[in-house]
Amino acid sequence: MKAELIGPRLKELRQGMNLTRLNMAELLGASATSIDRYERSIVRPTVECFLIYADYFDISLDYIFGRCDQPQGKLYEHCPHVELSNPELKQFVDTCFDPASPMSGRLKGALTKMLEDTKK
């Protein structure tokens, strides 16, 4: 385990989903101050908190603990949790399926190809 990676990875996960420390605290049943301490590696979360992080972000504990650099871990199939409250993601989805958008056809084609490739 690479202890110095735990805090920064927890912060990166939270920020990647545009969650505030308060949002994360509510998910964990902790305080925003605790989240700050986890992310600055002052305090290490409990095992239960680590499990909540792994389940919520759909990643492996190997990644959180710095045992690998891939969020899906060594033997894990990654299916990230997607929050449509993220304005950039919502805009992307709206653009993909908006028939008035000039990019709609190209994006649908790219998404279809990506989905086909994952089935192989």
Task: Summarize pLDDT for 26-38 with one digit per residue, the tens.
Answer: 999 999 999 999 9
pLDDT for residue 78? 47
Rounded to two decimals, the pTM is: 0.60
List CB contacts of 61: < 8 A, sequence separation 6 or more.
50, 51, 54, 73
Whole-number Å distance between alpha carbons of 65 and 67: 6
% of the chain exceeding 70 in pLDDT: 68
List CB contacts of 43: < 8 A, sequence separation 6 or more.
34, 37
Whole-number Å distance between alpha carbons of 78 and 76: 6
Using the predicted structure, report yes or no on whether residue 56 has a pLDDT greater than 70: yes
